[in-house]
Structures are given as C-alpha cells and as structure tokens.
Amino acid sequence: MSILADKSTKLIVQGMTGRSGTFYTDQAINYGTNVVGGVRPGKGGKNHIGRPLFNTVAEAMAETGANASMIMVPAHNAAAAMIEAIEAEMPLIVCVTERIPVLDMVRVKDALRGARSELVGANSQGVLTPGACKIGVMSTADARPGHTGVASRSASLTSEVVAGLSAVGLGQSTTVGIGGDPVHGIGFVRCLELFMNDPDTHGIVLIGEIGGSEEEQAAAYLKEMKSRKPVVALVVGRHAPAQRRMGHAGTLSVFGAGNAASKNAALNAAGACVVENVMGVAPAMADALVPA
C-alpha cells in the first residue's frame, strides 16, 4: 500500500500544454502513471501527447474518472486552478507551481475549509509512490518500492534522503513534498496521520527546515499519539542567521522562533530520532527498524 497515490490513481494535468506541463506529463506517463487527460480552457476536444484535453476539471473528471490533478499552471493563475479543482471535488490536488502570492494561497486555504480535496503544495516536488505513480517534478532515479514514508519541505534533500535509504535497502512507500511556502496544503501532521494508518509504511522520515511551525506541530502530534512507528527527523538550517530568509519563502527564523535547535528539541522530546545531517537519516532508520 501507500498514501495519496498508487496504481489506481487516474491523473489529469491542469496546464498540460505548456512547456513544463508537457515535459513533466511525459515523464509521468513514461514512469507508468495513469495520465488520463489534461485541462486547458479553450482547447477541449483536442489531444496533446496522446491524451485528451478538456476545458474544465469537472468535465475531465466526468469523462475520465480522474481522482487526482497535477497543477502546472503559472503562478498568476495557479490559485484559480486549485480552487477550480477544489470546487470540482477532486480528491487529490498536487501543485508544483512556485512563487504563488501569499494572499492567493490564503484564498485557496479558505476554499479548502470543509472541502473533500487533499491539497499538496504549492511549491511542492509532488507525490511519488515508487514503481506505481509519480505526480510532480521529483527525480525517480534512486527511488525504490518499500516501507519507509518520507514527508519533506525540501525537494533536493528528499532526493538525497531517498538515495541514502535505497542504498541501505530501505525502499519507500510514498514520498510527499509538503511545499516550501508559508501557506500550503497538507503538512507534516496530516502526512504522519496517513503514514501511521498505512500498514505498508513501517517507518517515517520527516525532513524539516527553519521557519514556520510544521515541525513543532508534528512534535505535538507525536507526543500525543505516542508514535507507533519509528520516526527519524532531520531539520536543516542549524547555522542559518536569524531574520534572513534561506531559500524557501517559508524558511525564516525571527528572533530565535522556528530555529533548528528549538525544532530539534521538540521532536526529540516527542520521541523522534533526530539526526544532524542528511547522511545520518538512512542509518538511523535502519537501526530503528531492527526488532528489539
């Protein structure tokens, strides 16, 4: 099993006819993802890279039975694309678009209240269930099917961690990029809930950053749940200066709030195995999965 996406996923791509949309849709198809169509207003009834195009998400869902959408729409229209998918009750929406205005994402979050959709992103590398389904822009070169779930705020670190896990024989059930923006869809807590309830996920890796409160929320959840599965956590940015954004829009520590030390302390107190660098993740997970 896995979370969010698997062999049964039927994917449409909003913005499929653009340069990036074309490239990453083709990659998904070649990986084996069941891409059933695309959405591009005004081009309904045509075909693109062997898949039918529709004018709206609702039309695409009705015609294909799609249950997931990948949004490859430019930043100025991405919020409208997400809201359209939410209003169509698309079960899974994965938005990889970067640099979406924060106020636009506030509107998206408002649309999600009480909705039936799960949103991953924006500014996400996507969701990957190795050997079954790729929705996003992540590398698949080192991914292997297995039993370790990965939830991350960083695409590049996800690639490094996945490579390390696979090198020691630990494949992945699903990897999820929650996105690096301050306002986004599902976070670490929701990923933990899904992984904890997935019988095929035996251990969980969290890859965090300075800024925001995702890691502290995850720690509170783990403390309350008294984790049933081992969790290995890596929070990067230990030497980052305060009040300076580092990479992602959400990666900002102000006056010590949301810094790596406080996040690591919270996760450690909640029972997670906290490692100091990316090279420590795979060995720590391998040790944690050895029966006592």
The β-bridge partners of 133 are 129
CA distance 41 to 60: 11
pLDDT given at position 255: 44
pLDDT given at position 212: 86
Q: Between 176 and 243, name the one with better pLDDT.
A: 176
Look up 248 and say whether it is catalytic.
yes
The structure tokens listed for 78 are: 């991405």
CA distance 172 to 205: 10
pLDDT given at position 112: 98
Sign of CA dihedral 113, 190, 259, 101: negative
Q: What is the pLDDT of residues 52-108, one digit of tens each?
A: 999 999 999 999 999 999 999 999 999 999 999 999 999 999 999 999 999 999 999
Return residue ranges of the chain for CATH 3.40.50.261.
141-292
Average pLDDT over residues 30-46: 97
Domain 141-292: CATH class, spelled out:
alpha beta
**Does residue 245 have a pLDDT over 60?**
no
pLDDT given at position 173: 98
Minimal CA–CA distance to 10: which of 85, 48, 84, 60?
Answer: 60
Chain centre distance of CA 250? 15
- One-letter amino acid at 79 equals A
CA distance 75 to 100: 5
Average pLDDT over residues 255-262: 71
CATH number of 1-124: 3.40.50.720
CA distance 174 to 222: 19
- Torsions phi, psi of 285, nearest 5? -70, -40
DSSP assignment of 193-244: HHHHT-TT--EEEEEEESSSSHHHHHHHHHHHHT-SS-EEEEEE-TTPPTT-
Minimal CA–CA distance to 216: which of 188, 192, 236, 238?
Answer: 188
The β-bridge partners of 273 are 232
pLDDT given at position 210: 87
Return residue ranges of the chain for CATH 3.40.50.720.
1-124
Burial class of residue 166, CB neighbours in 10 A (0-12, 13-18, 19+): buried
pLDDT band of residue 238 (cuts 50, 70, 90) is: low
Q: Which residue has the tokens 């990957």?
A: 128
DSSP assignment of 232-279: EEEEE-TTPPTT---SSTT---BTTBT-HHHHHHHHHHTT-EEESSGG
Q: What is the pLDDT of residues 119-157, one digit of tens each?
A: 999 999 999 999 999 999 999 999 999 999 999 999 999
Catalytic residue among 48, 76, 184, 248: 248
**Does residue 254 have a pLDDT over 50?**
no
The structure tokens listed for 30 are: 């070649």
The structure tokens listed for 55 are: 């004018």
Chain centre distance of CA 239? 26
Contact between residue 179 and residue 185 where contact means Cβ atoms under 8 Å apart: yes
Q: What is the pLDDT of residues 156-211, one digit of tens each?
A: 999 999 999 999 999 999 999 999 888 999 999 999 999 999 999 999 999 999 88
pLDDT band of residue 247 (cuts 50, 70, 90) is: low
pLDDT given at position 256: 47
CA distance 65 to 60: 8
Minimal CA–CA distance to 149: which of 231, 269, 209, 93?
Answer: 231
pTM summary value: 0.93
pLDDT band of residue 259 (cuts 50, 70, 90) is: confident
